[in-house]
Amino acid sequence: MNLQQTGILTKADLVEAVRYPSEERMKKGPVAVCECMQNIPCNPCETSCPFQAIHVGENISNLPKLDEQKCTGCTTCIAACSGLALFVVDKSYSDEVGTVSFPYEYQYSFQIGDKVKAANRAGKCVCEGTIKKIVNTKKSDRTTVVTLEIPIDFVDEVRSIYRQR
């Protein structure tokens, strides 16, 4: 089964396409992951980046290319991405925990410090996490950017908060 049949992206897909930051870079601090695998005519990731770390180019259907050395993991691109396909991961915290930042456009009542269930790309609850940061600025335009602290082994997998249904 692949992305086009299931809609579920995997880390392996991203690694294979050379679209995942290096382990070495993730250990140095927060860095963006562009989980965008199709040529979509779109470039706000490039124009929003304050450090020119994402390159799309003149043909706006090119896939975004991340310069992981220039990227500071500032998370600006997360809310800018119309496809909600940008994330920031950080494995520099400790050997046990890391963080993942993702866009969140649902109503919520959680606060910083709350424990929540974390969901992977397939919507499965894989671990528990702690809300570290909630950013909702005028610039992010109603797309909340949430940073979740989770066990380090799940940093490459967790991409949202598991919502009770």
Partner 1 sequence: MKQCEMLVIGGGPAGLSAAIEAAEAGVQVVIIDANEKAGGQLFKQIHKFFGSSMHRAGTRGIDIGEELLQKCKDLNVEIWLNSLVIGVYDNNVVAVDVKKSLTEHELVKVQTKKIVIATGASENAVKFPGWTLPGVMGAGAAQTMANFHRVLPGKKVLMIGSGNVGLIVSYQLMQAGAEIVGIVEAQPNINGYAVHASKLTREGIPIYTGYTIIEAKGKERVNQAVIGKVNPDWSIVEGSEITLDVDTITIGAGLKPLIGMAYMGGCKLINDRFLGGWAPCHNYNMETTTKNIYVAGDASGVEEANTAIEEGKLCGVSIAESLGYLDSTKAEELKKAIWNRLAGLREGAHGTERTGAKQKQLEEYTKAMEG
Q: Are 30 and 91 in contact (CB under 8 A)?
A: no
Which residue of 16, 17, 22, 38 would you call a contact of partner 1, by CB under 8 A? 38
Neighbours of 101 (CB within 10 A): 24
Nearer to partner 1, 62 or 92 (CB): 62
40 lines the binding site for partner 1 (CB under 8 A): yes
Q: Provide long-range contacts, Cβ within 8 A and 24+ apart, for 13-16.
A: 13/37
Q: Are 109 and 122 in contact (CB under 8 A)?
A: no
43 lines the binding site for partner 1 (CB under 8 A): yes
Question: Where is 103: in which H helix or E strand?
Answer: strand 97-104
Which residue of 119, 146, 148, 155 would you call a contact of partner 1, by CB under 8 A? 119
Stretch of 14-22, 68-76, 92-100, 120-128 lying at the interface with partner 1 (CB under 8 A) = 120-128
163 lines the binding site for partner 1 (CB under 8 A): yes
Both structure tokens of 9 = 């992206």
Is residue 3 helix, strand or coil?
Answer: helix
Which residue of 32, 49, 85, 97 would you call a contact of partner 1, by CB under 8 A? 85
- For residue 83, the minimal CB distance to partner 1 (Å) is 3
Distances (CA, A) of 119 to 26, 78, 111, 149: 20, 18, 18, 13
Which residue of 33, 71, 78, 80 would you call a contact of partner 1, by CB under 8 A? 80
Binding site residues, partner 1, CB under 8 A: 3-9, 35-44, 47-48, 59-61, 80, 82-85, 105-107, 119-124, 141-143, 159-160, 162-163, 165
